[in-house]
Amino acid sequence: MRYLSYWHDTAPAFAGGQTGPVDGRFDVAVIGAGFTGLNAARKLARAGARVAVLDAGPVGAGGSGRNGGHLNNGIAHGYADAKAHLGPDRARALYRAYDRSIDMIEDLIAEEGIACDFRRAGKLKLASKPSHVAALRTNYDLVSREVDPETRWLDRADLAGEIGSDAFHGAALFEKSAMMHMGRYLTGLAEASVRHGATIWETAPVTGRDRTRDGWELVTPRGRLQATTVIAATGAYSAHVPQAPLGYFRRRIISMGSFLIATRPLTSEEVAATMPGNRTCVTSMNIGNYFRLSPDNRLIFGGRARFSAVSDQRSDAKSGKMLRQAMAQIFPQLADVEIDYCWGGLVGMTKDRFPRAGEADGMLYAMGYSGHGAQLSTLLGQVLADLAMGRKDTNPLDGLNWPPVPALDGKPWFLPLAGLWFKVKDRLS
């Protein structure tokens, strides 16, 4: 078993990063080389801006290269909850932003010639208990009536052709959802950014930010650069470099581990018995699971197996054992299948689980995707580019209040308590 991301291990490495010192004057400096930051850089460079991208690690070392490979449309919450929290107009706008972002990813892949196995697979939101069916069906009815007519309800009998498991009692099918190889998309997006004129420094953590007469100076161990505008696209990793000038976000982003395993490639018979529908799947539990087939027919199976803010080999291994047990409960036929990969990453949660984008503390920012970043981050990267160029009418999150989380400064000490609470809710629901 390899303790590394399947997406990192099976994608061509990005080779376009700068090897020399960090230096120069730029119109925009982007902190974070994931989907958000890279698409912001690509859009800005195409418009003729001088753009620098700085990352503490390699391109896509954070959540963009450590996720489950889903591009699922729809909001993390039930749509009725989103309407109650945001109001009907903003809830509809945010829902449709996820749709537009998947469309944008599809167009970008074609435009830049990125080979990353993009496919409109559809997503199944699966009812894990009989008691979950009514709420899931109610949400489906509201979504299909108000924002997404391209959805279908599947009764339990309908699931036989979709998933080889008796564990579920119905599902909502979101036809617009997609999947792709995240690592290949990352490398292609970084290469496109450089091709259009952006400059990328990897392993160049930002450790300081100083005001200058006409903008900012960013400090790294490899040198300094000046920029008129700074974009923060650091997400759950905003606390990863303690010296980074990202305190505003550390007080608002709850970094939570999410973990995955990937089996050996399944045979055609095993695929037919396990995932005949070949869609992305998400269960309805509070501490649930998500899974899909990889391009080479591995089952990639993930979830928040443990409520931890740490992802390292020891933590990932503990979570991997729990995920294997959960996988075997859903798919007993895979109980003895070999596991080739085990990895984890951090998810940037907000208190209300809605993302945020705008301007704060002298920087433009987009983050807080709360487990739905793979699909929305490309669009919000473009929103950040628009904001940097003075266009303010494309942000679906404009003006959404973002109060700090009490007693939070990077390390979410309360995660074990939250995990216990959600376990109790799952038992009682």
The DSSP code sequence of 242-283 is TTSS-HHHHTT-EEEEEEEEEESPPPHHHHHHH-TT--EEEE
User: 110: Cβ–Cβ under 8 A, 6 or more apart, which residues?
Assistant: none
Q: What gap in Å lies between CA 43 and CA 104, rounded to an integer?
A: 12
420: pLDDT confidence band, cut at 50, 70 and 90?
low
SS3 state of residue 79: helix
Residue-wise pLDDT tens digits, 59-94: 999 999 999 999 999 887 788 899 999 999 999 999
Tokens of 342: 């085990």
Residue 342 has pLDDT above 90, yes or no: yes
Residue-wise pLDDT tens digits, 247-291: 999 999 999 888 999 999 999 999 999 999 999 999 998 778 999
Write down the pLDDT at residue 407.
82
SS3 state of residue 162: coil
Residue 184 has pLDDT above 70, yes or no: yes
- The answer to whether the CB of 27 falls within 8 A of the CB of 44 is yes
pLDDT, the chain, mean: 93
Look at 7-11, 312-316, 326-330, 344-348 and tell me which has the smallest mean pLDDT.
Answer: 312-316
Q: What gap in Å lies between CA 186 and CA 172, rounded to an integer?
A: 30
Residue-wise pLDDT tens digits, 302-324: 997 555 555 677 778 888 899 99
Residue-wise pLDDT tens digits, 135-179: 999 999 999 999 999 999 999 999 999 999 999 999 999 999 999
Residue 231, beta-bridge partner list: 30, 364
Write down the pLDDT at residue 122.
97
Q: What gap in Å lies between CA 3 and CA 342, rounded to an integer?
A: 5
Residue range 22-39: average pLDDT? 98
Residue 422 has pLDDT above 80, yes or no: no
Write down the pLDDT at residue 285.
85
Write down the pLDDT at residue 417.
56
Residue 181 has pLDDT above 60, yes or no: yes
**For residue 356, what is the DSSP state?**
E
- The answer to whether the CB of 136 falls within 8 A of the CB of 77 is no
**For residue 14, what is the DSSP state?**
P
By C-alpha distance, which of 268, 248, 314, 231 is closest to 29? 231
Write down the pLDDT at residue 311.
62
User: 257: Cβ–Cβ under 8 A, 6 or more apart, which residues?
Assistant: 304, 306, 307, 308, 309, 310, 311, 315, 319, 344, 345, 346, 347
**For residue 136, what is the DSSP state?**
H
SS3 state of residue 424: helix
Q: What gap in Å lies between CA 208 and CA 29, rounded to an integer?
A: 13
